[in-house]
């Protein structure tokens, strides 16, 4: 059976016992090696929810996540995963798309609809690697999309990066940074965007792209610059991913979406005025 993990990272099967699942979808009896890495202490308090129905993959993911210093919960059904996220909010979700009860895309859609879970970053993990699959996942609000088989080192790096971004979106108390562009108000203290006093529901990536562009209105940013600003220089990501996020962002901004202008062959800029 293929584990979905590439060979450049040891799988550590000796530290994993056979997992049994109960009717609620919770994978039980996971005797995971509790060795900790030398990562930052703050990482050790983060909880990651893994929604994956294949016990071997779920156990391996849990092993690597725990060895990296995080807490982990595992569910093997979509409905059980949604319930777990709502009852005990995790810091990040790893979501398989091919689940036996509810399609992973539908799980993502429902989590994004609920106010309690809408801001939880989601990394989709799937054997579906077509561009259309990746676009669908990102348009639904996933923070990242990883195709199987994948490197555990790469996956952990993406987890660390997204958690770091989530922490950094909470500004220092009293920073008071508010950016306003022709009716679009970006309040970085509250981490929210308002138009006509109505809060616009954005994913973490959508918010960060808008905030990055708004810091220098009319200044053109390349896709690579946007990727670097959001994820750092070490993360390799398709430029198409940025296009998907911008498309979703424009749609959510409604009549104000035209402020985000495509500069063909270069990237994007936020215009301070636009005809509506």
Which residues lie closer than 8 Å to 54 by C-beta, 6 or more apart? 1, 4, 76, 96
CA distance 18 to 202: 40
pTM above 0.75, yes or no: no
Tell me the helix, strand and coil percentages in the chain, rounded to 5: 40, 20, 40
CA angle, 179 as apex, 176 and 180 as ends, to 5°? 130
Helices (H), the chain: 55-67, 78-87, 104-113, 131-139, 152-168, 204-214, 223-231, 239-253
Longest dimension (CA), the chain: 63
**Helix pair 204-214, 239-253: axis angle to 10 deg:** 90
The pLDDT assigned to 258 comes to: 92
Give the burial string for 104-121 (b: 16+ CB within 10 Å, else e): bbebbebbbeeeebebbb
**What are the CA-CA distances from residue 250 to residues 67, 72, 257 (Å)?**
40, 35, 4
Instruction: Name which of 75, 95, 78 is nearest 143 in CA terms.
Output: 95
**Mind listing the pLDDT tens digit of every residue in the chain (276 residues)?**
444 554 343 333 333 333 334 434 444 433 333 333 334 434 447 999 999 999 999 999 999 999 999 999 999 999 999 999 999 999 999 999 999 999 999 999 899 888 788 889 999 998 887 777 887 888 788 888 888 888 888 889 889 888 887 765 544 334 457 888 888 999 887 888 999 889 998 888 888 899 999 988 888 999 888 888 877 665 556 778 888 889 989 999 999 999 999 998 889 999 876 544
The pLDDT assigned to 128 comes to: 81
Instruction: Name which of 91, 110, 143, 106 is nearest 248 in CA terms.
Output: 143
Query: What are the backbone angles phi and psi of residue 233, rounded to the nearest 5°?
Result: -75, -20
Three-state SS letters, 138-192: HHCCCCEEEECCECHHHHHHHHHHHHHHHHHCCCCCCCCCEEEECCEEEECCCCE
CA distance 150 to 146: 7
């Amino acid at each position: 059976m293929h584990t979905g993990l590439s060979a450049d990272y040891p799988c550590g099967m000796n530290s994993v016992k056979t997992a049994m699942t109960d009717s609620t979808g919770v994978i039980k009896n996971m005797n995971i090696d509790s060795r900790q890495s030398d990562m930052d202490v703050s990482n050790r308090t983060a909880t990651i929810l893994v929604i994956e129905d294949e016990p071997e993959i779920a156990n391996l993911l849990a092993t690597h996540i725990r060895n990296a210093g995080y807490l982990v919960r595992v569910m093997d059904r979509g409905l059980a995963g949604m319930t777990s996220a709502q009852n005990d909010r995790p810091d990040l979700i790893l979501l398989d798309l091919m689940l036996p009860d509810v399609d992973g895309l539908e799980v993502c859609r429902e989590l994004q609809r609920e106010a309690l879970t809408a801001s939880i970053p989601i990394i989709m993990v799937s054997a579906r690697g077509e561009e259309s699959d990746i676009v669908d996942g990102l348009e639904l609000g996933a923070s990242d999309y990883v195709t199987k088989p994948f490197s555990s080192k790469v996956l952990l790096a993406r987890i660390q990066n997204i958690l770091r971004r989530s922490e950094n979106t909470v500004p220092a108390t009293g920073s008071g940074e508010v950016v306003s562009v022709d009716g679009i108000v970006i309040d970085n203290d509250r981490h929210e965007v308002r138009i006509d006093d109505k809060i616009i529901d954005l994913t973490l990536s959508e918010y960060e792209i808008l905030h990055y562009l708004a810091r220098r209105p009319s200044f053109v940013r390349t896709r690579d610059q946007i990727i670097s600003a959001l994820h750092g220089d070490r993360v390799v990501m398709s430029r198409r991913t940025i296009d998907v996020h911008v498309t979703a962002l424009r749609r959510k901004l409604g009549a104000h979406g035209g402020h985000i202008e495509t500069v063909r062959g270069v990237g994007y800029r936020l215009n301070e005025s636009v005809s509506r």
